Amino acid sequence: MTAFGVFWGIFMLVVMLGAGRGLENGVTAGMGDFATNSAFMWTQITTIPYKGFPKGRWFTFTNEDIRALRDNVHEIDMLAPRIQRGGVPVVYGLNTGAYSVQGDYPDFNQIDPVEILKGRFINDIDINAARKVAVVGKKVIADLFRYDEEPIGKYIRIQGVYFQIVGVFASKHSGGWGESQEQCITLPFTSMQRVFNIGNRVYFFAMTSKPHVSVSQTLEKAKALMLARHSCSPEDKEAIGTNDVEEEFKKIGLLFSGIKALVWLVSISTLLAGIIGISNIMLQVVKERTKEIGIQRAIGAPPRTIIGSIMLEAIVLTAIAGYFGLVCGVGVVEFVNYAIPPSPDSMFANPEVPFGTAITALGILIVSGALAGLIPAYRAIKVKPIDALRYE
């Protein structure tokens, strides 16, 4: 029963760490390959009157802001403006549907990448020449094309204008985010501005920060520049909306770090209780073997031999209990991994025990066994041989 405390401590450690890793895998899988050093910026209603303009004013970003950001905010690595429309009618042959259409620059696929199943993504030539080409989500292809029909090179009609399909993509996100993305059509930014008569407007900017530069710092400089360019008060915190993805990833990282710390705390506490129990058992063993220890001392056994034998017994007892706890814990984690099939909507995926964690657990077992036998061993060598021989 004392050894069971050690077994249970290691078992809980392995199972809970495996479950925590499964939760972390599920959450991060939902984010796909989203750039962790990215941010977004869009316009909102002004809340402070400034330079003769009243509060409550609407304004929009423009194509000129693209060049201004690239020229003045040197902390920006990639900059990707986007425009988009929802519920746009799309026709192919006799089939029709309403889908979201978005105009992008090639850099957007570096910030929120999709998996290109066929063909390619938008490139710089498409942007400069305002080509009428489209990269289409796989769910759109499933709706409009026969399952055995090759979509690459075919033309679809978007709001009365024909676009040639040059690529088919699948989302790297899971759940509703991924499904929504796969029902989108991506056009060159410049082509969509012309076809949809959007003029020079930009709906929002996605950007990444250069290495070793904080995203919040880059975002603040970009926001200050846009406020100045559009005659908004520098004190107006609501005129431009922002989303710092790096900060969100940091919060997620801190959450899982806290979960890991809690798991280790609970497991080590349970393991400590088992170690104390084994130490008490070894004290009783030393007491029962007092006469035996006295004989060993009387015939010349050095103290290190006595200490070694007591500590070795404690280490073996702890190691056996801990080993079975480790094996059972890994077995439970693998069973759960096998029993729960991968699902794009799941927040729990691929629970696993890292190799480093297993090695750490083995190290804890060895140290725990040594600590459990340390006090009984030193108590054993303090017994005088003549007293030990008289002990009944």
Q: What average pLDDT does this structure show over 336-345?
A: 69
Q: Is residue 183 part of a domain?
A: no
Q: Which residues have CB under 8 Å from 350's CB, separation 6+? A: 21, 22, 25, 337, 342
Q: What average pLDDT does this structure show over 205-222?
A: 92
Dist. CA 38–CA 77, nearest whole Å: 10
Task: Give the per-residue pLDDT at 345.
Answer: 56
Dist. CA 58–CA 42, nearest whole Å: 12
> Residue 343: which pLDDT band, with cuts at 50, 70 and 90?
low
Q: Would you call 159 exposed, middle or buried from its count of C-beta atoms within 10 A (0-12, 13-18, 19+)?
A: middle
Q: Is residue 301 part of a domain?
A: yes
Q: Residue 323's closest CA among 17, 108, 10?
A: 10
Q: Is residue 7 part of a domain?
A: yes
- What 3-state class would DSSP assign to 92? strand
Q: Residue 279's closest CA among 374, 379, 372?
A: 372
Task: Give the per-residue pLDDT at 125.
Answer: 95
Q: Is residue 294 part of a domain?
A: yes
Task: Give the per-residue pLDDT at 27.
Answer: 67
Q: Would you call 156 exposed, middle or buried from its count of C-beta atoms within 10 A (0-12, 13-18, 19+)?
A: buried
**Most confidently modeled range among 37-41, 284-288, 371-375:** 37-41
DSSP class of residue 53 equals B
β-strands 115-119, 161-170: how paired? antiparallel
Dist. CA 39–CA 249, nearest whole Å: 11
Q: Is residue 145 part of a domain?
A: no
Four-residue CA torsion sign, 152, 164, 138, 160:
negative
Q: Does 154 score more than 90 pLDDT?
A: yes
Q: Is residue 375 part of a domain?
A: yes
**Scanning the structure block, which residue is given the tokens 């890991």?**
260
Q: Does 344 score more than 70 pLDDT?
A: no
Dist. CA 204–CA 64, nearest whole Å: 13
- What 3-state class would DSSP assign to 237? coil
**What is the chain's mean pLDDT, rounded?**
84
Q: Is residue 355 part of a domain?
A: yes
Cα dihedral 198/199/205/207 (nearest 10): 120
Task: Give the per-residue pLDDT at 84.
Answer: 94
DSSP class of residue 173 equals S
Instruction: Give the pLDDT confidence of 156-191 residue by residue, as tens digits.
Output: 999 889 999 999 999 988 777 788 999 999 999 999
> Residue 290: which pLDDT band, with cuts at 50, 70 and 90?
low
Q: CB atoms < 10 A from the CB of 57, how many? A: 16
Domain count within the chain: 1
Q: Are 297 and 388 in contact (CB under 8 A)?
A: yes
Q: Is residue 319 part of a domain?
A: yes
Q: Does 92 score more than 60 pLDDT?
A: yes
Q: Does 280 score more than 70 pLDDT?
A: yes
As beta bridge partners, residue 386 has none
Q: Does 388 score more than 60 pLDDT?
A: no
Helices (H), the chain: 2-30, 63-72, 108-111, 124-129, 138-144, 175-181, 189-195, 215-229, 245-288, 290-298, 303-339, 355-381, 385-390
More reliable by pLDDT, 270 or 171: 171
Task: Give the per-residue pLDDT at 289.
Answer: 67
As beta bridge partners, residue 95 has 92
Q: CB atoms < 10 A from the CB of 211, how many? A: 7
- Domain span holding position 299: 2-31+249-390
